[in-house]
Amino acid sequence: MIRAVCFDMDGVLFDTERIGCEVTRAIAQDCGCRLTEEQRRLMWGLPLRRARELLETWFPGFDSQIVKDRWYEGVLARVRQEGLILKPGAQQILHKLRQEGVKLALTSSNARIMVDTYLALAGWENAFDLVLTGNDVSRGKPDPEIYLMAARRLGVSPGECIGVEDSPTGVRSVRAAGMISVMIPDLLPFTGDLAPFTDRVLSSLDELDSLL
Give the residue from 195, 182, 129 showing the smallest Cα distance to 8.
182
Preceding peptide of 158 cis, ω within 30°:
no
Active site residue 129: no
What whole-number distance in Å separates Cα of residue 70 and Cα of residue 192?
A: 36
Catalytic choice (8, 15, 166, 186):
8
Q: If you write DSSP's letter for every residue of 36-100 in order, what string do you get?
A: -HHHHHHHTT--HHHHHHHHHHHSTT--THHHHHHHHHHHHHHHHHH--PBPTTHHHHHHHHHHT
Report how far residue 18's alpha carbon sits from residue 10's, in angstroms, rounded to the nearest whole number. Answer: 9
Catalytic residues: 8
